[in-house]
C-alpha cells in the first residue's frame, strides 16, 4: 500500500525535493526550481494536494498585485531515518518531510574500528522499533560516516566491510528500506548547501572541523565526488616536509600538523617540557579540553589551536587557487568555536593567496552547529529521491520475492 504511495511521489520528485529544502514555495518558485512552466508546476501541485502530500500555506507577498499562494509539504506523510556516525558513535534521529527532527536524537557508542555491520543493523532496527514510526512510511535511511566512501557503489572502503556484499546492499536487504551512504564531510556539505548560510551559492568549500579536517565541495550547485567518489581528501594533501607519519601511511599530510589529534600530541609534549598552561592541571588531555581551555583564555591552548588553524589556512590557500570558490564554510563539531579558527586562517590566506582571488571568497562560520551531519544524512535521502530511490525500491522488491 504505502510502497505504492512512494512510487506515486517519485513522479513528482523534483517538486518534492525543492519543497523539502525550502519549506514553503509559490508555484512560480517551483517552476523556477524544476525548470518547467507555471501551468505545469500548478498541475503537479494540485495532483499532490489531491493525494494529501502538499497543503496550501496562506499567501506570500507580492510587489503590488494578486498575492501568490504558498505551498508546503505535509510533514507527517513520510519519514527519513538519519544516521550520523563518527569514530566513536552513531547518532540517529527520525526526520519528517519538513526537515524537523521528530524524535529524540539517540546515540549509540562504539569504536568504529571494531564495529561490525551486524551491530549497526541491530542499532538501526532497535531505533526504528522504538521510534513508533511504521517501517512502511520510512522513505529511506541516510547514513554518513568517516572513511573512503563510494556513495554510488554504497561501500565504505575503510570501515564496516561486509564479506560478499556492499554495506548498503547488506543493510537494505535485512531491513527492506532504501539505504544511502555518504562520507561524513559530504553530508555536512550537503546540509550547508541546502539549509546553511551557504545555501544558493554555486561553488562552496565546506570544512568539517573535527578530529581530522574533512572537506565537502559544492561545484556548480552539486556535491562533487570525483571519478570514484573519493574526492575531497583535504586532510591528506601532502603539504609539509616535517617527516611526521600520518595515519594514512604517508608523511607530511596536512593532518599531521593541523588536526586536533596533532594538536593534542603537541600539547602533551609541551606539558612534559614544563610549559606553563592550565592544561597541566588535568590528567587526561584531549582535544575538547584544549578547546575549552583556549576559550577560557589559556595562552598555550590558544597558541596550539592557532597554529593548527594557520596550517588549515595554508591548505585553504591552495584550495582557493585551484577552485576559486564563492565561500568557505567552517562547519562540523569544531565550528562551535569557529571564531577561534578564523583569525589564523585569515592570516594564512593573506600571506599565501593572490589578492585577486581572495577578494571573491567569503569565510562563513556555520550556524547549523552539531546538527549539520544529521541534517545532511537526511538530505542525502532526499537528494536521491527520484530515479535512484526507485531503483532501490525495485531491488528490495526483487529480493523479497526470491
Partner DNA sequence: AATACTTTTTAAAAATTTAAAAAAGAAGTA
Partner DNA sequence: TACTTCTTTTTTAAATTTTTAAAAAGTATT
Q: Which residues lie near DNA (CB under 7 A)?
A: 26-28, 35-40, 42, 59, 62-69
C-alpha cell recorded at residue 56:
496550501
Helical residues (DSSP H) of 176-217, grouped into ranges? 184-195
Q: Which is nearer to DNA, 58 or 249 (CB)?
A: 58
The Cα–Cα gap between 70 and 92 comes to 32
3-state SS, residue 167: helix
Q: Which is nearer to its own copies, 88 or 148 (CB)?
A: 148
40 binds, among DNA, its own copies, none (CB under 5 to 8 A by kind): DNA
The Cα–Cα gap between 289 and 307 comes to 17
The Cα–Cα gap between 332 and 84 comes to 12
Q: Is 248 in the site for its own copies (CB under 8 A)?
A: yes
C-alpha cell recorded at residue 296:
577560557
Q: Which is nearer to its own copies, 79 or 240 (CB)?
A: 240
Residue from 25, 215, 287, 308 that binds its own copies (CB under 8 A)?
215
Q: Is 58 in the site for its own copies (CB under 8 A)?
A: no
Residue from 233, 257, 293, 383 that binds its own copies (CB under 8 A)?
233
Contact positions with its own copies (CB under 8 A) in 143-202 = 148, 157, 201-202
Q: Interior CA angle at 233 toward 184 and 117, to 5°?
A: 40
Q: Which is nearer to DNA, 44 or 317 (CB)?
A: 44
Residue from 324, 339, 369, 394 that binds its own copies (CB under 8 A)?
324
280 binds, among its own copies, DNA, none (CB under 5 to 8 A by kind): none
The Cα–Cα gap between 253 and 238 comes to 4
The Cα–Cα gap between 268 and 279 comes to 9
User: Among 373, 400, 377, which residue's Cα sits nearest to residue 140?
Assistant: 377
360 binds, among its own copies, DNA, none (CB under 5 to 8 A by kind): its own copies
Which letter does DSSP use for residue 238 in this model? B
Q: Are 216 and 175 spatial neighbours (Cβ–Cβ below 8 Å)? A: no
399 binds, among DNA, its own copies, none (CB under 5 to 8 A by kind): none
Q: Which is nearer to its own copies, 39 or 226 (CB)?
A: 226
C-alpha cell recorded at residue 338:
569557529
In the complex, minimum distance from the CB of residue 57 to DNA, in angstroms, rounded to a whole number: 11
The alpha carbon of 264 is separated from its chain's Cα centroid by a whole number of angstroms, namely 25
Interface ranges with its own copies (CB under 8 A): 148, 157, 201-203, 215, 217, 219-220, 222, 224-234, 236-239, 241, 248-250, 252, 314, 317-319, 321-326, 351-354, 356-357, 360-361
Amino acid at each position: 500500500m504505502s510502497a505504492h504511495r512512494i512510487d506515486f511521489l517519485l513522479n513528482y520528485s523534483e517538486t518534492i525535493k525543492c519543497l523539502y529544502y525550502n519549506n514553503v514555495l509559490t508555484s512560480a518558485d517551483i517552476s523556477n526550481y524544476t525548470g518547467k512552466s507555471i501551468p505545469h508546476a500548478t498541475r503537479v501541485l494540485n495532483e499532490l494536494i489531491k493525494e494529501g502530500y502538499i497543503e496550501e500555506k496562506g499567501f506570500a507577498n507580492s510587489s503590488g498585485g494578486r498575492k501568490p499562494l504558498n505551498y508546503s509539504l505535509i510533514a507527517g506523510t513520510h519519514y527519513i531515518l538519519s544516521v550520523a556516525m563518527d569514530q566513536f558513535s552513531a547518532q540517529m534521529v527520525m526526520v519528517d518531510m519538513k526537515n524537523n527532527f521528530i524524535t529524540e536524537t539517540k546515540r549509540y557508542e562504539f569504536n568504529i574500528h571494531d564495529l561490525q555491520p551486524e551491530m549497526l543493523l541491530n542499532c538501526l532496527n532497535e531505533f526504528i522499533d522504538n521510534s513508533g514510526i511504521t517501517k512502511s512510511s520510512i522513505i529511506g535511511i541516510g547514513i554518513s560516516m568517516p572513511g573512503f566512501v563510494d556513495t554510488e557503489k554504497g561501500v565504505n572502503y575503510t570501515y564496516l566491510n561486509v564479506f560478499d556484499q556492499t554495506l548498503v546492499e547488506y543493510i537494505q536487504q535485512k531491513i527492506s528500506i532504501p539505504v544511502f551512504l555518504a562520507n561524513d564531510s559530504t553530508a555536512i556539505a550537503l546540509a550547508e548547501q541546502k539549509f546553511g548560510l551557504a545555501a544558493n551559492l554555486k561553488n562552496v568549500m565546506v570544512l568539517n572541523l573535527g578530529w581530522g579536517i574533512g572537506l565537502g565541495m559544492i561545484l556548480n550547485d552539486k556535491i562533487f565526488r570525483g571519478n570514484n567518489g573519493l574526492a575531497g581528501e583535504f586532510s591528506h594533501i601532502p603539504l609539509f616536509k616535517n617527516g611526521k607519519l600520518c595515519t594514512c601511511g604517508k608523511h607530511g599530510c596536512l593532518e599531521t600538523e593541523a588536526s586536533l589529534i596533532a594538536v593534542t600530541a603537541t600539547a602533551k609534549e609541551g606539558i612534559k617540557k614544563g610549559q606553563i598552561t592550565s592544561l597541566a592541571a588535568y590528567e587526561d588531555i584531549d582535544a575538547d579540553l584544549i578547546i575549552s581551555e583556549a576559550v577560557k583564555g589559556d595562552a598555550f591552548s590558544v597558541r596550539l589551536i592557532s597554529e593548527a588553524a594557520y596550517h588549515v589556512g595554508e591548505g585553504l590557500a591552495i584550495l582557493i587557487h585551484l577552485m576559486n570558490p564563492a565561500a568557505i564554510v567552517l562547519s562540523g563539531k569544531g565550528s562551535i568555536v569557529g571564531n577561534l579558527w578564523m583569525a589564523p586562517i585569515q592570516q594564512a590566506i593573506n600571506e599565501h593567496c593572490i589578492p585577486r582571488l581572495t577578494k571573491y571568497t567569503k569565510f562563513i562560520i556555520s550556524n547549523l552547529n552539531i546538527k549539520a551531519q544529521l541534517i545532511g544524512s537526511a538530505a542525502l535521502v532526499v537528494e536521491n529521491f527520484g530515479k535512484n530511490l526507485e531503483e532501490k525500491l525495485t531491488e528490495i522488491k526483487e529480493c523479497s520475492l526470491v
